[in-house]
Chain A
């Protein structure tokens, strides 16, 4: 009784937790397919792929992706190299220096990215001045500064990943290679590097992702080379469109795809290793019967499902034309707007009639027939001002305080197309 209650509460907690974690991403992804001009899930208007098209026509986004890739590649190379050197140093540094050294190389993880960006900018600017170079020199180049600034802390992440594996490395292996005649460089290339390869791959992926999504440091150093993240931040800060959702959807999909791919690969490696372990000598000498790719591999199955879903979606996207639906929605909105205008007109008509009737009564009483503005109601009820309002109605629709923002604006829709 108590136990099952606990179990249920754990699952409820997990559900809430993962809803908090994944919900925003799911909702953001869905908004990429809604034809509404503002990223939103409800009300659902039309399924559309137009935001993807828009995304790929955005020169700034494309340029940002290009810069991000260049900077990412540079950061991966520099921070994996420094991280590996740092990890190697950590395993063999003089014990008395070890604690200090560790504090120094781990500090960049804790230093706020803003501070790293500023210090990089200030320091290299000073070096640049000391060398007497101009403002357009290599040292003040946005790509160089960003790679340097990001690598400062990304190398620490790489170091942590690499040192974890390095601790399982047996230094005797390097010694054995040396003993068998290898040079230090050969021992490094043929023994240590292959051993470290999985960790180096993880570190490289980590470094690339960290570089790709970095904002705090890059925002001070990018100069004339804004990365994708910088461009996104500009866009998000100064007006958001579903095109950003479309980009987010692509990134989410790629991430899920690669996560599943990686998991499937890991699982397969496990299965293969197990199969090899159980294989007899004869089987090894010939060919081992490998388990088929999908047997016992949940991730691989998911991967295929995911791939099929992607192909279906892309296929639909090329064939699907939301024009009719959008036109319908537009028509519906126009009708709604018309209806509202009609209603307003009707209301005002009634009011006018009522007022006229009142005025007629008053006029009889006060003998002032002229519909004047100096009545006790001020300008508000003046027919002219009413007329103005009426004519301007179609251009400036009910202001966005109706809870739906500017999305009901027919003009906005037209622009979006």
Chain B
């Protein structure tokens, strides 16, 4: 795995006039990794990708590929290949011509190109489709042609700019697996841009969560999901219930949060913030919907929440209960459907219970927009 070529961003700043698109990004991407930049649209993740591929010059800082500074090297000289958001297949070229465009540039003969195209078409499971035009293919097929075209250039690093966003849900899920498989087979570094946390979590070795030009957290998917570093990361990745308050007391790696509506609650301080949070700080506690369980009536304490049920819904695999929450936001509770009998609580007060290790405390901060 580590045979691949790594990519490093050092103190990278990118400005457009007065607007700062990327603020002091520092990222080390290991060779052969599947690395994702995850963030909402407009957070600067595509800008980073354009800086890596060479379409943009950083205002400050460096982009290193395989340890070499890429400043002044144009996109056509970098060992990267980019898969565009809209794929950018050449509409007037046949599929095989599209795939082997990089060979045409290098002056390869038509026969050589044809041969290579057939190999790649086999790899992406589109044999005998080489003579079609791109607009005669389906969305998923086009997707795979774009990947083949990029791979044909034999890049050290493959950059993917939300390539699945134009596909429908089913196909998107299928392509996730396929992309991951292709990456494992070719063994080169993939840098993937997405706003879809599901894609990032399923495919990536490591993920960078971005917000408004700033990288909030870089870690593997499990860590980001279970141990978010910021309020934004906690609220952007997966569903989460937020409880706001002030830290009342710190007990080692745990803390007691004093909330306005639901009393004092206990939570685990997220790993990155351990040792930096002080009593009296404003903080946010996050509990995932599936981390709640219904407690017996009358139960009380620092890991119980009592709230009035607004409405309920049945989703098949889970029952969802929405209760009046703290600060105007609903608290969502998801109970797995294990065949148990389920009584309707609408209008009633219920008590919810969580385990301390499932409640994460981070400093108060900006939440992801719904």
Give the interface of A toward B (CB within 8 A).
170, 172-173, 175-183, 186, 190-191, 194-195, 276-277, 281, 284-285
Q: Cβ of A173: which chain B residues have Cβ within 8 Å of it?
A: 88, 90-91
**Contact (Cβ within 8 A) A175 B82:** yes
Inter-chain contacts of B85 with A (CB < 8 A): 172
Q: Flag the segment in B73-81, B211-219, B282-290, B322-330 that touches A.
A: B73-81
Candidates A172, A183, A194, A284; contact of B88 at CB < 8 Å: A172
With A180-B102, A186-B105, A277-B136 already in contact, the answer to whether A172 and B76 are too (CB < 8 A) is no
User: Contacting A181 at CB < 8 Å: which of B91, B131, B132, B153?
Assistant: B153
Q: Which of A191, A276, A285 lies in contact with B90, CB distance below 8 A?
A: A191
Per the bound structure, the CA–CA distance linking A9 and B76 in Å amounts to: 63
Which residues of A sit under 8 angstroms from B54, Cβ to Cβ? Answer: 179
Return the chain A residue nearest B149 by Cβ. Answer: A180
Q: Contacts A284-B129, A285-B131 given; 10 further ones with Cβ under 8 A? A: A170-B86, A173-B90, A175-B55, A179-B53, A179-B81, A180-B101, A180-B102, A182-B76, A194-B92, A285-B128
CB closest chain-B residue, reference A288: B131
* A183 to B55 CA separation, bound complex (whole angstroms): 13
| Residue in chain A with minimal CB distance to B78 | A179
Asked if B75 and A281 make an inter-chain contact with CB atoms under 8 angstroms apart, the answer reads: no
Are A284's CB and B106's CB within 8 A? Answer: no
Q: Is the CB of B153 within 8 A of A276?
A: no
| B contacts with A, residue count (CB < 8 A) | 31
Q: Chain B residues near A179 (CB, 8 Å)?
A: 53-54, 75-76, 80-82
Instruction: Report whether over half of chain A's contact residues are helix, strand or loop; otherwise say mixed.
Output: helix
Question: Which of A175, A179, A182, A277 has the most C-beta atoms of chain B within 10 angstroms of its own C-beta?
Answer: A179
In the bound complex, residues from chain B placing their C-beta under 8 Å from that of A176 are 82, 84, 88, 90
Residues of B contacting A180 in the complex (Cβ-Cβ under 8 angstroms): 76, 81, 101-102, 105, 149-150, 153
Contact B76 A175 (CB under 8 A): no
Cβ-neighbour of B129 out of A182, A190, A195, A281 (below 8 A): A281
Encode contact with A along B50-85: 1 for CB under 8 Å, 0 otherwise.
000111000000000000000000111100111011
**Contacts A175-B82, A191-B90, A276-B136; A181 near B106 (Cβ below 8 A):** yes
Establish whether residues A284 and B132, one from each chain, have CB atoms under 8 Å apart when the complex forms.
yes
Interface assignment of B133: CB less than 8 Å from any CB of chain A: yes
- Those of B250-301 within 8 Å (CB) of chain A: none
The 6 closest A-B pairs by CB, nearest first: A172-B88, A176-B88, A180-B102, A178-B75, A179-B82, A172-B84
From A175, A190, A195, contact of B75 by CB (8 A): A175
Q: Could you tell me if B86 and A183 are in contact, using CB atoms closer than 8 angstroms?
A: no
Q: How far is the CB of B21 from chain A (nearest CB, A)?
A: 18
Q: Are A178 and B131 in contact (CB under 8 A)?
A: no
Q: How far is the CA of A239 from the CA of B131 in the complex (A)?
A: 62
Known: A186-B105, A285-B128. A195 touches B74 (CB 8 A): no
Q: List 26 A-B contacts (CB under 8 A).
A: A170-B88, A172-B85, A172-B86, A173-B88, A175-B75, A175-B84, A178-B55, A178-B74, A178-B75, A179-B53, A179-B76, A179-B80, A180-B101, A180-B102, A180-B149, A180-B150, A181-B106, A181-B153, A182-B76, A182-B101, A182-B105, A183-B76, A276-B136, A281-B129, A281-B132, A284-B132
- Cα A285 to Cα B121 in complex, Å, equals 14
Q: How far is the CA of A183 from the CA of B128 in the complex (A)?
A: 30
Q: Specify the chain B residue showing the minimal Cβ separation from A279.
A: B136
Q: Which of chain A's residues have a CB closer than 8 A to the CB of B129?
A: 281, 284
B227 to chain A, nearest CB (A): 36
Provide the bound-state CA to CA distance between A170 and B271, in Å: 45
